[in-house]
């Protein structure tokens, strides 16, 4: 009798553990989607007419629209990271000045009969951090260690990734 009641509990637990969780990060170099349609579906763009952005997702789907169609695509993707580094027990921190990265796209596709042709320029991505100059001794990037383990100052130039 006990085993009968164990199965629903185990099934419910397995369902809860298998549920997807929220992702709290993105990779600016590997875009999760190209185009509004694919972006609205979480990046899915492989088996339907995803528009001109199919040149990045799956070029084979450019054959899906009806013949005699011309498409102009314009887009702008904006990445807006908020990066802060905390690096000691006192709570010292450095904030990145890199807060906005704009990636425009433009494309034109034409389908005549069974042939689709055109041109597209879509941004791959690119996002980093900009901490400015390291001129405060409490700054995260003020100095480091040389190959011989001796303290050394940095160049004083902008610090970016």
Q: Where are the domains of the chain?
A: 24-130
pLDDT given at position 47:
81
Residue 27 in this model has a pLDDT that exceeds 70: no
Q: Given the DSSP bridges, would you call strands 115-122 and 130-132 parallel, antiparallel or unpaired? A: unpaired
pLDDT given at position 119:
95
- Report the candidate in 151, 113, 138, 122 with the shortest Cα–Cα distance to residue 50: 122
| 52-88 residue pLDDT tens | 888 888 888 888 888 888 999 998 888 887 877 777 6
CA atoms within 13 A on the CB side of 98: 17
Distance CA 122, CA 81 (A): 20
> For a pLDDT cut of 90, what percent of the chain falls above it?
12
Distance CA 116, CA 61 (A): 10
Contact 106, 121 (CB under 8 A): yes
Residue 26 in this model has a pLDDT that exceeds 60: no
pLDDT given at position 89:
66
Distance CA 34, CA 79 (A): 13
> For a pLDDT cut of 70, what percent of the chain falls above it?
76
């Amino acid at each position: 009798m006990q085993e009968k009641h164990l199965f629903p509990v185990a099934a419910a637990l397995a369902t809860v553990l298998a549920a997807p969780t929220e992702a709290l990060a993105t990779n600016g170099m590997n875009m999760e989607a190209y185009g509004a349609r694919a972006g609205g579906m979480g990046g899915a763009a492989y088996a339907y007419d995803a528009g001109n952005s199919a040149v990045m997702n799956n070029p084979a789907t450019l054959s899906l629209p009806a013949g005699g169609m011309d498409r102009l695509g314009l887009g702008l993707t904006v990445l807006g990271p908020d990066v802060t580094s905390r690096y000691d027990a006192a709570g010292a921190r450095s904030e990145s000045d890199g807060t906005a990265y704009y990636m425009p796209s433009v494309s034109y596709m034409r389908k005549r009969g069974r042939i689709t042709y055109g041109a597209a320029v879509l941004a791959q991505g690119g996002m980093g951090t900009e901490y400015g100059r390291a001129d405060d001794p409490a700054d995260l990037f003020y100095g480091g260690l040389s190959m011989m383990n001796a303290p050394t100052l940095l160049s004083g130039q902008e610090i970016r990734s």
